[in-house]
Amino acid sequence: MKQVPTRGVTTQWIMRSLAFIAGVDDKHGRAPDYDLYCFSQDEDDLEAKSKIDRHWNYERGRQWASLAPTAMPLKIDGVLNPKAVALYEAAVKRGYIVR
């Protein structure tokens, strides 16, 4: 099967997304909502793509939260924690999370 077109994104773009934050929150106490970003075949391509991107970021957030120490904040004073970003990038480098 042929791969669909992809585009590169930054770690910061991923970690700032509401879906990533929701994935982190769900890993730290809320029940996961795996159906939150499901799409149906009758949706237009743009809406489906948007939901797929959010689903990826949600799962990335859950994966990051599985690796991060529970005391490590994602943000400090509303800005991404540099140590959290470094942990994400190290996990990508080791193949634990995809970017």
26-54 pLDDT, tens digit each: 887 777 777 777 777 777 777 777 888 88
Residue tagged 């957030």 (tokens): 61
| pLDDT of amino acid 66 | 94
In the chain, where are the structural domains located?
11-94
pLDDT at 9 over 80: yes
pTM, to two decimals: 0.83
Confidence of residue 2 (pLDDT cuts 50, 70, 90): low
Distance CA 32, CA 58 (A): 10
Please provide residue 19's backbone torsions phi and psi, each rounded to the nearest 5 degrees.
-70, -40
